[in-house]
Amino acid sequence: MEKINDLSTPCFILDPKELERSVRGFQEALNSKFGNSIVGYSVKTNSVPFCLKCAGKLGAYAEVVSSDEYELALACGFSKGNIIYNGPLKSKETFIDAILHGAIVNIETKRELSWLKELPHDKKYNVGLRVNINISHVSPEDADGENDNSRFGFSDETEELKDALSFIKQIDNVELAGLHIHRTTHSRSVRFYKKSIEYACQTIKKYGLSINYLDVGGGFFGIFPNKPTYQQYSDAFYEVLSKFEMQNLCVIVEPGNALVASCFSFISEVIDVKHVEKELWFITTNGSRNDIDPFFKKSTYLCETVDYNKNRDIAKEQIVSGCTCLEYDRMHTLKDKPLLSVGDRIVYNNVGAYTMCLSPMFIRYIPNIYVKNEDSFELIREKWTAQEHIVKNKFK
């Protein structure tokens, strides 16, 4: 077995079995309740082509939120009919193309409504509409402050939803096929989905809509003990939908975090140990907070040191830091732990969501990615060098 210690650092490691477990887990939970359901893979959360390909093979749809992501999903083997197209950054060309070829397209902006006029009149085309969800209005228990209102979707608290619905209704070759209600709450609670789905059902009733799908969005927990499971989310969807006799709708989920966080680890290596005060050491690693916490918000990491020889002096305080020239590039502090030394490797687990897709090209370019096979590691993305950095630049 090739060992983690043999890989060149820094690098990410993908465990494809873990991705499979997540995708199948959500699919099975939905299948146990619904005749018709779709698991969409949120491409923005982790857009590594190898992952997109794996998710597609498992039957997941690609949930994309820009024309670039639409092109990426196609390049990674998704058929247009297996794409869910959301967000404000659709191009007119890909918006029309997606609708013509049977993608699930959830309208987000008024310019998309106007583009509908350009569809051919040969047959009826399906579209969905994103509904604006204010978390504290829909589920006060999940209220979390000033971002509870939403920049997305058409609001039923003003005239916008009503107007969008009547606009679609008067276009004779377009049919409203579904509603989209994505919100990620801080709590990721089952209760929130009950409330937001109830709100959707009431909206469907209020406007007498005859639709085929409800896209409940993403925002779910994945692997943590004592947190809701895919099955509990699915049971909750069913409970509310059946109360409104809408359990025959196709239920769509678009998990990001819940599918990809747990299938990636990051490995960095200690490159220097600095003793700066009597009781304080800085451990410089070749990883960076940019690699594993690009929002600079995490306070703890699921991390471990590989092959760590414990017969070492105990250090009162070690601040494990990154490789950038930013003073605040500090990951975590070890208190009263054996002193790390050059060459030690640190593995950070559960770092697949909103990490590599958000890492800047800062100081060191994007690192290697290996996939973990039965008894070896295979390089699936080679580190970018200055050569990749200058591709498409013009300079003399």
Residue numbers of the site for ligand PLP (CB under 6 A)? 42, 44-45, 63, 65, 86, 182, 184, 217-220, 254-258, 353
Nearer to ligand PLP, 10 or 217 (CB): 217
| Chain center to CA of 31 | 22
Nearer to ligand PLP, 176 or 253 (CB): 253
Please, what is the minimum distance in Å from the beta carbon of residue 336 to ligand PLP? 36
Please, what is the minimum distance in Å from the beta carbon of residue 82 to ligand PLP? 16
Nearer to ligand PLP, 149 or 173 (CB): 149
Please, what is the minimum distance in Å from the beta carbon of residue 152 to ligand PLP? 8
Nearer to ligand PLP, 214 or 340 (CB): 214
Please, what is the minimum distance in Å from the beta carbon of residue 357 to ligand PLP? 11
* Other CB atoms within 10 Å distance of the CB of residue 101: 11
Please, what is the minimum distance in Å from the beta carbon of residue 230 to ligand PLP? 12
Token pair belonging to 6: 């043999």
User: Among candidates 209, 217, 212, which has minimal Cα distance to 138?
Assistant: 217
How far, in Å, CA of 103 to CA of 289, rounded? 37
Nearer to ligand PLP, 42 or 196 (CB): 42
Residue 143, C-beta contacts closer than 8 angstroms, at least 6 positions apart? 135, 136
Please, what is the minimum distance in Å from the beta carbon of residue 18 to ligand PLP? 16
Three-state DSSP class for residue 165: helix
- Cα(first)–Cα(last) distance of the chain, in Å? 48
DSSP element (H, E) containing 85: strand 83-89
Token pair belonging to 299: 């306070």
- Write phi, then psi, for 387 (nearest 5 degrees): -65, -40
Please, what is the minimum distance in Å from the beta carbon of residue 106 to ligand PLP? 8
Residue whose Cβ sits closest to ligand PLP: 256
295 Ramachandran zone, left/alpha/beta (phi>0; psi -120 to 50)? alpha
Residue 218, C-beta contacts closer than 8 angstroms, at least 6 positions apart? 42, 45, 63, 182, 184, 253, 254, 255, 256, 257, 258
Nearer to ligand PLP, 128 or 218 (CB): 218
Nearer to ligand PLP, 194 or 383 (CB): 194
